[in-house]
Amino acid sequence: MKAASARTWAPGVSKGDFFYYEMYGVYTSSEANATIEVPPFEHNNTDWVRIDITGVSGSMVYQVYTLHFKNGTESKFDLQTDLNPSSAGTFNVTKMGVPLCAANLDVGDPLSTVPFTMNETLIRAYSSGERETNLLSWDSPKDWGRCYFDKKTGVLVELYRVHKFTNRVTGEVIEKADHVKLTRSNLWEITESPTTLAPIFIAIITVTLLLLALAMRKQKSTKTQNANFSKTKNQ
């Protein structure tokens, strides 16, 4: 792991930036007829989540976190995230909100919101152009998942996390899967670029042309056979 003091952990966001997310959790139990007591916050009744950046000071980012529920009500609370990995600790959504990291992290760089380092840098295509994306993944017996962060801004693009809870008395195992996906932002167009579908269209066109060529070849062969048959018959 790279030393936290070896660089400046600058935010890639500014006051006024905003981000919308789709966010929900899915609970499953090892017991077929089990009734799972889901906390009110986790009840899959959130229509969208919005994060507004209200201020930036050094490595500290201040945010307003808005939960908009499907019944039209909202809940807001203030958050702050220190992007310096020296403050790293166990991620807690009630204290830090959606994970956020410093701008332009490289493979091997640590994060402050989760105790892991970046694994890989990938390219993602959007309608507004291609962007570098940092992948962070982990795998342990009780907790596994992956996060994608926009490299330039340090903003979370997508998260999938599974945490396993085991009841030591009954032996029941409950798995909670968290799904978080960025849907809109003022910084770039989130919609995936149609170019990402190009290979599919190319494949369809290739197969279509191949079938057409085979059909034309078969038709030509049939005409030749009929001509030969008529010629033989007339002799």
What is the distance between the alpha carbons of residues 35 and 50, in angstroms, rounded to a whole number? 31
pLDDT of residue 145: 93
Distance CA(62)–CA(81), nearest Å, equals 7
According to the model, what pLDDT value does residue 225 have?
Answer: 54
Tell me: pLDDT of 36 over 70.
yes
Per-residue confidence (pLDDT) for residue 234, from 0 to 100 = 52
Q: Can you tell me the mean pLDDT for 97-101?
A: 86
Backbone angles phi, psi at 36, to 5 degrees: -95, 125
Percent of the chain exceeding pLDDT 70 equals: 72
| pLDDT tens, residue by residue, 187-233 | 999 886 444 333 433 333 334 444 455 556 655 555 555 555 455 55
Q: What is the distance between the alpha carbons of residues 78 and 210, in angstroms, rounded to a whole number?
A: 59
- Residue spans of the domains in the chain: they are 4-192, 196-234
Report the pLDDT value the prediction gives residue 230, as an integer from 0 to 100: 52
Residue 26, pLDDT above cutoff 60: yes
pLDDT for position 60? 93
The closest of 50, 102, 99 to 77, measured between CA atoms, is 50
What pLDDT score does 25 carry?
85
Examine the pLDDT at 134 and tell me if it is beyond 50. Answer: yes
Mean pLDDT for the chain? Answer: 80
pLDDT-wise least confident of 25-39, 118-132, 137-151: 25-39
The secondary structure of residue 197, as a DSSP letter, is: G
Residue type, 192: E
Asked if residue 54 has pLDDT above 70, the reply is: yes
> Of all residues in the chain, what percent carry a pLDDT higher than 90?
47
pLDDT of residue 88: 60
Residue 104 φ/ψ region, left for φ over 0, alpha for ψ in the -120 to 50 degree band, beta for the rest: left
pLDDT at 152: 96
pLDDT over 60 at 112, yes or no: yes
pLDDT at residue 209, as a whole number: 42
Q: What is the arithmetic mean of pLDDT over 64-88?
A: 89
